[in-house]
Structure 1
Amino acid sequence: MAPAALPGLLPLCVCLLLTSGLAEAGKLLVVPMDGSHWFTMRSVVEKLIHRGHELVVVVPDVSWQLGQSLNCTVKTYKASHTLEDLNREFVRFADAQWKNQGQTLYSVLMTSARGFFETIFSHCRSLFNDKKLVEYLKESSFDAVFLDPFDMCGLIVAKYFSLPSVIFTRGILCSYLEEGAQCPAPLSYVPRILLGFSDAMTFQEKVRNHIFHLEEHLVCPYFFKTVVEIASEILQTPVTVYDLYSHTSIWLLRTDFVLDSPRPVMPNMIFIGGINCNQGKPLPEVSCLSLSKIGIIWLWIFKKIFLTEL
């Protein structure tokens, strides 16, 4: 987190999310993640475009849905893998989740998930290998980077160009949300996200919560090893995952405070409610007359049965 930059970033966040024509439009660099993450972020991107903000979306040339049908500038770069590679790794990852339910954090991060996420992580090296694109981004004078943190390339881009970063997420594995935002999360009261405990934990659950937190610190550095290597190579200095997340200026959390365990939050953590992949359809209208007719029918059936039995 960058406290010194926070007062200047809050008006930017309000400008991006709340105003419509009442403030000067901003220029935003968008670094999304493919799959369902993009369906969720796309609704916000389209709203920002509609409100007159200038957006540049940077995507690999191999993806499922990224950047399609957007009324803004979309810049692509050559990916190091094919669509078949992406499909194969995702199917392997998805199948493992169904077949091995209840598996440990180690088995999830180091086996089934690692291959898929390393394919995603490799995008960033490909982006910075495109020198023409990097020069374009450097000269474009963006106000901020709007990113999905699961890809993590947006974090590297923001740090490389020294831009404020706005994270759009439901949550982050491995305690990096709390550590990156410098947000207290006492383990005796705040359960880890994958355990499914409530805030009223038993003694045994509190012990398990502490052990799981220790597992995160042991396993997660190996899971993010590729990201750290790519980031250190691009930034020309040794970095850690914490270094990348701590650069975040605004955390837009796609959840509601009342749905999570009670916990302290920092001023730059903003709850924006749940945003689903598709816009929900309105409930059908039901008139009181229709309900009355249904009640009369049920009453007639009840009397018919009751009188018959008598």
Structure 2
Amino acid sequence: MKRFTDFAFSSCRSLLQNKELIRYLEESKFDAILTDPVIPCGVILAEHLSLPSVYFLRGIPCGLDFEATQCPNPPSYVPRGFSQFTDHMTFFQRVKNLLFDTQNLFLCDFAFEPYSKLASEFLQQDVTVQDLLRKGSVWLLRLDFVLDYPRPLMPNIIPIGGANCAHKELPQVEMHFRFLSLLPHYVFLCRRIFGFHHPGISKSGIC
């Protein structure tokens, strides 16, 4: 896991230090960025390019997505990651569920502090990853309440469970690509490792 995170961070740093690529992105006049914010390189680029960002993710392990969107996250019925609880908990399970937030704070600091320093250096202003995530325009969450426990959602959070399934007839997949076809024609697609191109988008960039 550490090798992967080190590789992701070094790749992000190399991308941001590539002046030729950054200049190309600035001159291309993209209209939006579609990115997975778990590796927040696309989030940093969106701020630098002054572009609206659309997040495509399953969730951020330490709960930073809740903090960034200011979404209610009651420990009484929203089980924390790796707690193995359900949405029906006893009193002591709820207390233990609440205590999971403490370790999440340390996990967030450990995982995203290097990116906060990198973003501050690149943007030449003091920022944190959470500050940048708050500027996300739309959050496309790969969850479905048929399989996931109920939880509050903010107005700009759209559940698109099934978008990663291979079956072509899934209505969620069709809805997802219909959403992409409604995006402006110049969209910069930034994924953690892989990108994709949709026929409805005439120009796309990938990182």
Q: Shorter-chain TM-score: which interval? A: 0.7 to 0.9
What's the % identity of the aligned pairs?
A: 49
Q: Which letter maps to 1:149?
A: P
Structure with more of its chain in helix, by fraction: 1
- Give the TM-score, by structure 1 length: 0.52
Residue 102 of structure 2 corresponds to residue 214 of structure 1:
yes
SS at match of 1:258: coil
Correspondence 1:131-280 to 2 at 5 A: 131-276=19-164, 278-279=166-167
When Rg is computed on C-alpha atoms for both structures, the one with the higher figure is: 1
- Give the TM-score, by structure 2 length: 0.76
Deviations 1:36-68 (A, max 9, x none): xxxxxxxxxxxxxxxxxxxxxxxxxxxxxxxxx
Structure 1 unmatched runs, 5+: 1-112, 283-310
Whether contact under 8 Å (1:145, 1:164) holds in the other structure is: yes
Cα 1:239–1:215 change in 2 (3 A) is same
SS at match of 2:131: helix
Whether contact under 8 Å (1:169, 1:253) holds in the other structure is: yes
Correspondence 1:38-187 to 2 at 5 A: 113-187=1-75
Structure 2 unmatched runs, 5+: 171-207
Whether contact under 8 Å (1:123, 1:153) holds in the other structure is: no
Q: CA deviation at 1:168?
A: 0.7
Separation (CA, whole Å) in 1 of partners of 2:169 and 2:54: 29
SS at match of 1:244: helix
The count of corresponding residues between Structure 1 and Structure 2 is 170
Q: Which letter maps to 2:105?
A: H
Q: CA deviation at 1:225?
A: 2.1
Q: CA deviation at 1:199?
A: 0.7
Separation (CA, whole Å) in 2 of partners of 1:277 and 1:139: 35
Instruction: Tell me the C-alpha RMSD between the 2 structures.
Output: 1.9
Cα 1:145–1:243 change in 2 (3 A) is same
